Amino acid sequence: MSSLTLSSLKAELQPRPPRELRVTSAEWEALLCDPVMAARVFFGGRLDAFQACRLRYYWWTQSVIDSSGVGSGKTIVDFLFLCLRCLLIPKHDGAIFYPSLGTGIQSFWDYFRQFSGNPAAKLFVSQLGNPLKVDAGEELDGDGTVHGSECYTAYFRNGNKLLMPAPSIALDSVRAASLTVNTLIIEEWAQIDKMSDAIDKQLIDRCRGASWNQHHAIWGNHIVYTAHAQNRTHPAAPRYFAHQRKIHAGNPMCANISYSYKDFSDLPSDAPGKSFKQHRRNEVTIATGESGDPAVWLGRGLGIWGVSGAGWFSEEAIVEGIKRGKEAGLLPALGKNQFEEKR
């Protein structure tokens, strides 16, 4: 037998990752019902208590606005949430949108590289499946995903995929017009709302993929909005408070959540000898933020939709004045001449 034939035989005998997860129905149901356990099984790492709570909110609620402050570990939970839904739910695609593709590559897509070299995440890596060929302008990267100028894509062996398209916020995200997914995360949604009408005109409608049960807490399609909180006169505030009214009305499909760096606990982390607080809290960044504008830090650091005291009138006074003017049927005076004419 020739050496070439021996080499071919050895290649054929090499173990290959299974196309589908080899688990029993009971094991699959257990993973599907507890995403925190599933994250530990597939990725090997630990989540702090509040991060586990955040993941469960995402998993069991179809519309979530996460207003958590910076440095509270949103991005890793975004990654786990999207990947787990693609891994565990049949015929299920996910997508995440950033205002800038470069930001998404650095903060979100880099987790594929990190986990691809992590022995504890071998089960997850085994379920990433590269296509036989890529389109023009795309390339297979070492992290097991396809990189292109218009979209980054992760393919899973069960046929599902996770996409991160390049945005076109200035054009109201017209590039997303043909995209159809089951789970969608809109990162920095408050910034997108400030820049354009992309969320209402294009992005929300992308979450329209067929599901086994559109009203089910898990099977139904999910949309998650993530961005730190703003003040109440910000262009994103109407969406947030409209969502809050649905929650107050008893809608079980909606949730508004918020965490901050203060939620990191003294529980042991994956870093040897360190708690989550010691390992994850960046005290220098926190001290710098706290020394700035208190109203800005309230939203950016603590994740609270508060009032701003900047300007001649407080934000609370402005909001109350607008409310009373509407109740009285008054129109605003937009200039000095108009004010004098009314007199």
Which CATH number fits the domain that encloses residue 38? 3.40.50.300
Instruction: Answer whether residue 210 is part of any domain.
Output: yes
Q: Measuring CA to CA, which residue among 89, 66, 48 is closest to residue 187?
A: 66
- Measured between alpha carbons, how far is 186 from 236 in angstroms, rounded to an integer? 13
Domain that holds residue 185: 20-331
Residue with tokens 């299920």: 92
Question: According to the model, what pLDDT value does residue 174 have?
Answer: 42
45 inside domain: yes
Residuewise pLDDT in 10s, the chain (343 residues):
445 555 554 555 555 655 567 778 888 999 999 999 999 999 998 999 999 999 999 999 999 999 999 889 999 999 999 999 999 999 999 999 998 888 999 999 999 999 988 999 999 998 988 666 677 778 888 888 989 888 899 999 889 999 999 876 544 444 455 689 999 999 999 998 888 888 888 888 889 998 889 999 999 999 999 999 998 888 899 999 999 999 999 999 999 999 999 999 999 988 889 999 999 888 877 878 777 778 788 888 899 988 765 555 566 677 777 788 888 888 766 555 554 554 4
**338 in any annotated domain:** no
d(CA 35, CA 52): 8
Q: Which pair of structure tokens corresponds to residue 85?
A: 């839904």
Query: What pLDDT does 107 receive?
Result: 92
| pTM of the model as a whole | 0.82
| Strand, coil or helix: 229 | coil
Token pair in block for residue 241: 């408070």
* Residue 156 located in a structural domain: yes
Domain contains 10: no
Per-residue pLDDT, 17: 58
CA atoms within 13 A on the CB side of 178: 1
Residue 7 falls within a domain, yes or no?
A: no
Q: At 97, which amino acid appears?
A: F
Predicted pLDDT at 172: 45
- Residue 251's CB is within 10 A of a number of other CB atoms, namely 14
Determine the Cα–Cα distance for residues 53 and 47; give it in Å rounded to an integer: 9
**Amino acid code (one letter) for 17:** P
Place of tokens 């409608």: 205
Q: Domain for residue 3, yes or no?
A: no
75, with CB counted inside 10 A (0-12, 13-18, 19+), is middle
Number of structural domains the chain divides into: 1
In a domain, residue 2? The reply is no
The answer to whether 188 touches 227, Cβ cutoff 8 Å, is yes
311: left (phi over 0), alpha (psi -120 to 50) or beta: left
Q: What is the 3-state secondary structure (H, E, C) of 256-278?
A: EECCCHHHCCCCECCCCCCEHHH
